[in-house]
Chain A
Amino acid sequence: MSAVLPRDTLPPVIAPDETNASISAKISDAALRRPTGWLWIAGFGLALLLCGLLFVGICWLLYAGLGIFGLNIPVAWSFFIANYVWWIAIGMGGTFISAAMYLTRQGWRNSINRFAEAMTVFAVSVSGIFPILHLGRPWFFYWLFPYPDVMNLWPQWRSSLEWDFWAILAYLIVSIVYWYIGMLPDLATLRDRAPTLAQARFYGLLSLGWRGEARHWMRLEQFNLITAGLAVTLVFSVHSMVALDFSEGLVPGWHETIFPPFFVAGALFSGFAMVLVLGIPLRKWFGFEAYLTERHIVNMAKMMLAAGLFVDYSYFSEIFTAFYSMDKYDVAMTMHRVVGPYAWVFWGTVLFNVLLIQLLWFPRIRRNAAAVFVIALGVLIGMWLERFMLIVTSLYEDFLPSAWGMFWPTLWDILFLIGSIGLFFFMFLLFARLLPMLSMFELRKLVASQRRTEARP
């Protein structure tokens, strides 16, 4: 059998000389003892600056209203909704890695799940800003919540926009809880290895006094297992509801049954891309080569390619269905997309999401971290363009030519997009500085299970 299969030249999922002691030392020292480098300070300063811009933007938006953006009739949804879908999609990839690959016992996921979950928490938090600020009167956002008020107002339960509110609420809280409870044992490690009393107190409070007794582990393991199962359900249901926000509308280009699975595939695609964009530099800067090996990058690249092919199939299916239906509005919308004034958005999406990722078929490229990083960055750009394309090119030329109109972003539109990236990196850099970036106890488990397999005759 082994003569037929090509020789596996990739390194093992964890360097063979790693022990419980070395895992604990290397990963906790990154948070406890590593000096704050100039690169981190520079990145943090930039992120802080962008957060400041976002803050200014939010203040101006609350004062002046939605008129500061380029949206109007017919294009009443644009950058904000694209940003929202883009960010929440990025979050999905993290949950999928952490939950679905836990259920399928992919041991290699033990070294990426922690920062992937952190990415999820931050991306979902950032995404939540957009729909609320897009309400026009954001201070009434709590009207989405059913409470017995004097106006006798209840939410419209039949609307997918209301479902979306519940889905995001559940998803945000569940991903924070899953991330934090899974981090307790590692916070306890930081507490016990802290060089100063102040650090010991900080991590002591965060770890809630975790000691690692066998019966406590058993409960935690059961919780993680069931929550993983529920989180996979959340990934698919939440992003399907995001898609239903569109497909419930009777607009050509939105009113399609393929939208829920199409959006879920796009979510995993951009989520895997973001994990690569974050993981490749982390691996290099923090010296985690022993845990985030070449095998991880290759595996992630393969998963990104697989998700990308699903997305590409959906593009094809959308165009095919438009012509197959012979619905003149669907055909016109498709033609506007491909050759209209926003054609560059369509072709940009095709370049990044269809053509560029085909390079990942080549093993040499999958094994080149820099190339994978660039392709993943391209995927993130391509996925943003795709959201913009789906939203704006479906709206700008709809049924009546007299109601057609272009959308041009204002500076504020662009500022909110860049500012949200700043907010994400602000949170992620704090995470990288203060918390255990890789899951130490799951890596110890991985080492133990590898020892067992080796010992087996």
Chain B
Amino acid sequence: MSVRLHGLLAEFADAEHLLAAVRRARADGYYASGIEAYSPYPIEGLDKELGARHHRVAFWMLIGAIGGGAFTYWLEWHSAVVNYPINIGGRPLFSWPAFIPPAVEMAILWAVLLGVLAVLYGARLPRVHHPLFANHEFERATSDHFFLLVRGDDPRFDAQATQQFLAGLSPLSVVAVAQE
């Protein structure tokens, strides 16, 4: 083996071909973690074909909502009841209904902020350089073409056999992606 490959990249003209290709690759024994499917818009059902079952965006958003809301509410209680209790017109120190609005707003804010972190971390972004970007063909992945990548670290990957397998899926092109 002369050059270590990042993987082999097959290019398709439409979403149906990509979906069929992913199905064939999975049926052929490639691991879901070893293949990647690129499309210019989210394709319904593609993630299921890739065997992705759970991802933690909703979970982290829930954690953010609970954490942000609870902390704000605690802060309001602490500052108004413990740290600086002051009687204004006989209003209760712990005015619990009036403390709800800021807590709700902060729950929403922290849910969204943790959600963004979960999206970016899950996609390992930001990463402005990537082996795929060296391929001229891949520039169309964000415009109008669809790509299937079989990564070199898939146990079933074999430069020649995988090349033949991809060529059998009637792609527009199959190119080798060099490692960085």
Contact = CB atoms under 8 A, between A and B. Distances in A.
Interface residues of B, number: 59
A222 B129 contact: no
A241 interface: yes
Interface stretch (B23-31, B79-87, B154-162, B169-177): B79-87
A193 B57 contact: no
B104 interface: yes
B139 interface: yes
A223 B41 contact: no
B49 to A, nearest CB: 8
B58 A226 contact: yes
Interface in A173-218: 173-174, 177-178, 181, 185, 188-189, 191-193, 204-205, 208-218
Given A157-B79, A209-B128, A226-B57, A166 B102 contact: yes
A154 B83 CA distance: 9
Contacts of A219: 55, 57, 118-119, 122-123
A441 B41 contact: yes
Contact of B42 (A19, A166, A169, A221): A221
Nearest to B75: A146
B153 interface: no
A94 to B, nearest CB: 16
B44 to A, nearest CB: 9
Contacts of B98: 157-158
B141 interface: yes
A170 interface: yes
Contacts of B58: 222, 226
Contact of A163 (B95, B101, B132): B101
A208 B125 contact: yes
Contacts of B106: 166, 170
B46 A441 contact: no
Among A178, A218, A241, the one with the most B-chain Cβ atoms within 10 Å of its Cβ is A218
Given A166-B102, A218-B42, 11 more contacts: A24-B40, A152-B84, A157-B102, A166-B106, A171-B105, A173-B113, A181-B116, A191-B142, A212-B142, A226-B61, A238-B105
Interface of A: 19-21, 24-25, 28, 146, 152, 154-155, 157-158, 160, 162-163, 166-167, 169-171, 173-174, 177-178, 181, 185, 188-189, 191-193, 204-205, 208-223, 226-227, 230, 233-234, 237-238, 241, 440-442, 444-445, 448
The 4 residue pairs across chains A and B that have the minimum distance between CB atoms: A208-B126, A217-B42, A20-B144, A24-B143
13 contacts: A28-B143, A154-B84, A160-B101, A163-B101, A173-B112, A192-B143, A209-B130, A214-B47, A217-B47, A223-B116, A223-B119, A233-B104, A448-B41
Interface of B: 15, 36-43, 46-47, 50, 52, 55, 57-58, 61, 72, 75-76, 79-80, 83-84, 91, 95, 98-99, 101-102, 104-106, 108-109, 111-113, 115-116, 118-120, 122-123, 125-130, 132, 138-144
